[in-house]
A = this chain, B = another copy of it.
Amino acid sequence: MKIRKVAGGVTAPQGFRAGGMACGIKKDQPDLALLVSEREASAAGVFTTNRVKAAPVVLSSRQIRGGKARAIVANSGNANACTGEEGLRDARTMVESTARALEIPPREVLVCSTGVIGEPLPMEALTRGIETLASRLSTQGGETFAQAIMTTDSFPKSTAREVTTHQGAFRIGGAAKGAGMIHPHMATMLAFITTDLEVEPSTLQKSLKEAVDGSFNRITVDGDTSTNDTVLMLANGASGIKGEGEVLEAFALALEEVCRELAHMIIRDGEGATKVVKIAVKGALNREEAEKAARRVANSLLVKTAFYGEDPNWGRLAAALGSSGCFLDPAKLSIHIEDVEIVRGGLGIPQAQEAAHQIMGRKEYTVTMDLGLGTGEYWIWTCDLTYDYIRINAEYRS
């Protein structure tokens, strides 16, 4: 079994066409994306846990229950969230327009939206756009698809893998958008994954859920949970290979790689972020405690501004840990920035400050906090909190 990186994003696997265009939601920028499988595909989805769910989330989570789909239509610039009955009608119209243009049944179309909350969709522009875009799809369209789902993202997020097994080769491709409202628990982004492996819907759902837990659920930009987060996956079997036994294991591995690379792109492109920091907690009483501690530290504004200031301010790390509610004996705590120990037995090591400060000048590093109590571990990616986060979010709509 061999996994290697390939180009092409969501159209890297066989039997998928995709594309993107500017339909008029945003000003002269791509805002409509379409992804189609040449044959019916197994479909899986993971959706936001926010109680306020956008219309497309409500609709797609219903549509996907059948476990089969062929197309995904997505727009950026408008989230179609908090739009009531009209929003649901609009999401349904997007599905129907797509089905008509592609000559497939509406039940095989999934829909996603991302952008501003609470504004009605410009349906005329959208319907016309869908019709045009349907005729322009291409097996090379992965990158334009990734561009069309961007909001405040500063670069398109796309990747793919080829997995070679004894049974032959299959591929997994993915595209994502992130930037703001990035918070664990399927909160805050869109991601679309394709594969030409043949996988049963229930197996696909399980694999996707596991991959999401090890990737998209481990990133946090601002602790805010979006109304629209969605990860959708289509498996069309075009490679002729069945997802069973060893092949399925290889598939799970490569799928996690794809999801993790996309998640890393999202955190790297967090609003205003200049650094990616991996917060690793170990030595907790159990995994749940470790996760609670890691999430609290990753979301502390004081910790995130210290990362921006490249300040090895371990007091803030300790204070955040202490407020997480996880069991803690300060006298057993040690903290490393990469391999530099800055806290041992709960006490700072002053002579390590300069070396730690140097490492914190990097674009990416790991902070490891060992609670010294048990074997519970968890890690999560966070980013620094900067002036630009404020600028982007204070000015978003004006």
Q: Show the binding face of A for B, using Cβ within 8 Å.
A: 49-53, 79, 81-84, 116-119, 180-181, 183, 187, 222-227, 299-302, 305-306, 308-309, 311, 313-316, 318-328, 330-331, 343, 345-348, 385-387, 389-391, 393-398
Contact = CB atoms under 8 A, between A and B. Distances in A.
A222 B303 CA distance: 11
A79 B315 contact: yes
Report the 7 A-B pairs with minimum CB-CB distance, sorted nearest first.
Answer: A117-B315, A52-B322, A309-B394, A225-B323, A305-B393, A51-B322, A50-B322
7 contacts: A51-B322, A51-B326, A52-B321, A82-B318, A118-B315, A183-B323, A311-B394
Given A116-B315, A386-B390, 13 more contacts: A50-B323, A51-B325, A84-B330, A117-B315, A119-B348, A187-B323, A223-B299, A301-B393, A302-B393, A305-B394, A308-B394, A309-B393, A387-B387
A82 B224 contact: no
A118 B79 contact: no
Contacts of A187: 323
Nearest to A222: B301
Contacts of A348: 82, 118-119
Contacts of A180: 302
Given A224-B300, A395-B309, A117 B318 contact: yes
B397 A311 contact: yes
A313 B226 contact: no
Given A84-B331, A305-B389, A318 B397 contact: no
A311 B118 contact: no
A35 B183 CA distance: 45
Nearest to A224: B302
A302 B319 CA distance: 24
B396 A346 contact: no
A313 B386 contact: no
